[in-house]
Amino acid sequence: MNATLGSGPEPTPEPVRHEPAAPAHVPVRQRLAELRGPAVAPHPLDARALAALAANPGCERRTLLDGAGVNKAVLAQALGSPAAFGQSQFAFMRGNAFEARVKSDGGTELLRLLGVEDPSGALTPDVSAAGPEGRTARTALALREATAAKAWTLLDHPMLALEVAGTPAYLEPDAVVVHPDGHWTAVEIKSFPMLDGSADAAKVGAAARQAAVYVLALERVAAKVAGAEVGHRVLLVCPKDFSNLPTGAVVDVRKQLSVTRRQLARMRRIEDLAAALPEGTTFDPSSRSAQELAAAVESVDAAYAPECLAACELAFHCRERSREAGAVETLGRSVRGELGGLTTVEAVLDAAEGRAGDPADPTVAALRRAAALRAEALGAAAGAGV
């Protein structure tokens, strides 16, 4: 993933929080339209975005912006902190070629990875239709018919829907397989290699979070289909070693599914978040200057962590603001958790050097001990002429 850091925005005044909020009677959809710009179409939420939300559930800024359909890439560009996400052209082409290889011959290779003895007899219904609503309805019909047929069925790029903050998010898994017993399995195809039966843990974790979103959407459909059951174990398909041959691993996504459910429940608060903003707030770059946009963004609390750099278009902007405030979150969630009530780098240094803090506090005592050991080590190194 490539990212570029542009020049930072000009200094902006502290956001004004005491202005009157939007009237409570304004319908939430109308209010969200005002936030992104009345003439701006909502930016669609996909499984990757929902998975990123689940990974950082405390970030009200992203919850509001994603729920309102704000294009965060355009907003970041207007703020002067663009972030370029996406695969290189080579990686994109390699991923498409690998997925085509996995699904060739009616998905024979993919079905064999699930233990299907005779993949040639599997059904492969067409789930194409006009528009996302049409494709979602066609997918639901195909899943219902496949469950009733009690035969192996492969759905290639079906369309699912989840309601997020009152707005449907359309999701497109790589594939869904229906077993003869009515069991549904989501399939996630990735182009990163699986070496000696294992793959990069961070990439597998990201794939699991994304697959959990598909499982949740499938559960909503299965609830209306007699005899259907959605599995919490998804099939992850990757290239074997350094070849283009597919290999698979079953990944249990129950933990990620639980987190995703909680985050979707939190997103129901979006109406409250929108109502708490000053009247007239908008994130539309075409109608506001960079300074006004920055003030609007800062009026919503963020929960920045270094992991955001790989998942959010506003990460560079939030990192810059976090550094300006000297927040310890810039050092990572694990460090933040160890520092307890010390919330700024300045407070940590003061505690470590004895200028502040209660010596009886275990965190302060540990910092002072660490500072003493560091001073001792540097003194020894200087004495040895290193």
Q: Is the predicted pLDDT of residue 17 greater than 80, yes or no?
A: no
Tens-digit pLDDT profile for residues 265-315: 766 678 888 888 988 899 999 999 999 999 999 999 999 999 898 889 999
pLDDT band with cut points at 50, 70 and 90 for residue 49: confident
CA distance 191 to 175: 15
How sure is the predictor about 168, in pLDDT bands with cuts at 50, 70 and 90? confident
Q: Model confidence at 11, in pLDDT bands (50, 70, 90)?
A: very low
Can you give the pTM of this predicted structure?
Answer: 0.75
The first and second tokens of residue 159, run together, are 């369309």
CA distance 371 to 326: 19
| Whole-number percent of the chain with pLDDT over 70 | 89
Main-chain dihedrals φ then ψ at residue 200, nearest 5 degrees: -55, 125
Residue 134, CB half-sphere, CA atoms under 13 Å: how many? Answer: 5
| Dist CA 201 CA 149 (whole Å) | 38
Q: List domains and CATH numbers for the chain.
A: 28-85+276-335 (no CATH), 89-263 (3.90.320), 339-383 (no CATH)
pLDDT band (50, 70, 90) for residue 88: low
Q: Tell me, what's the pLDDT at 386?
A: 56
Q: Which residue has the higher pLDDT, 380 or 344?
A: 344
| Average pLDDT of span 73-87 | 83
pLDDT band at 385 (very low <50, low <70, confident <90, very high): low
pLDDT at 22 over 80: no
Judged by DSSP in three states, 344 sits in strand
Task: Write down the pLDDT at residue 262.
Answer: 82
